Amino acid sequence: MEPAFFHLPTLELARRLLGTRLLHATPAGLSGGRIVEVEAYVGPGDPAAHSYRGRRTARTEVMFGPPGRAYVFQVYGMHFCLNVVSGQAGNPEAVLLRALEPTDGLELMARRRGLVQEVAGGQDLSPRLVRNLASGPAKLCQALGITPAQYGWDLRLSPLFICHDRDPVPDEAVASGPRIGIDYAGEAREWPWRFWLWGNPHVSRSRGE
């Protein structure tokens, strides 16, 4: 992981995060996968962003710091979502991680998701179940055991980290479109700041077209 990576402009960082891996090492084991879907939230000028108009509270504080930290927040009183803080210090921007293609600790992820009753060691999980492990921002957090306890974590460092382990994804493999769940954001609801790997079956909606 080159040090400058998280300093990329937010929209570029969002694209470049696709294809990298998010991993979480815990006493229960290693879990994680390739990032296949993200959304950019571009700071004070973005009506969909928590930091719109520079709103600075205890919740959004980490976005005002250096890039590469974890911004974890709770939604709907029961789910958590994980963002990578982006933008230079003072620019409160972030990239929401929306879906993973599981690569590590699939069984552990299934247990955290409540999708298996018993520890079925070595047993293959169905493709359908694997697609349901982390195909959504809250599913991703549940599958990896991510909670507000990880708020502010430096995502270059174990136990919760992002790493490059293959060549960058070519631009033609990246699709984009409107972000999900921001109908309150006026015209910004149309801005194509959701990015995903074209055709990847692990994205959160419509199987990535």
Which residues of the shown chain bind DNA in the complex (CB under 7 A)? 39, 41, 48-51, 55, 57-60, 71, 73-79, 81, 83, 94, 96, 113, 132, 136-140, 179-182, 184, 204
Shortest spacing between CB 186 and DNA, in angstroms: 11
- Residue nearer to DNA on the CB measure, 26 or 74: 74
Shortest spacing between CB 64 and DNA, in angstroms: 12
- Residue nearer to DNA on the CB measure, 27 or 76: 76
3-state class percentages of the chain: helix first, strand second, coil last, to nearest 5: 30, 30, 45
Task: Round to whole Å and give the CA distance between 95 and 119.
Answer: 34
- Residue nearer to DNA on the CB measure, 27 or 126: 126
Shortest spacing between CB 167 and DNA, in angstroms: 27
Length of the chain: 209
- Residue nearer to DNA on the CB measure, 42 or 167: 42
84: tokens are 């990578």
SS3 of 208, please? Answer: helix
Shortest spacing between CB 74 and DNA, in angstroms: 5
Shortest spacing between CB 81 and DNA, in angstroms: 5
Q: How many CB atoms lie under 10 A from the CB of residue 125? A: 18
Contact 92, 162 (CB under 8 A): no
Strand partners, 113: none
Torsion sign over Cα 177, 179, 180, 181: negative
Shortest spacing between CB 7 and DNA, in angstroms: 19
Query: Does an H or E element contain 157, and which?
Result: none
- Residue nearer to DNA on the CB measure, 5 or 73: 73
- Residue nearer to DNA on the CB measure, 67 or 137: 137
127: tokens are 């493709």
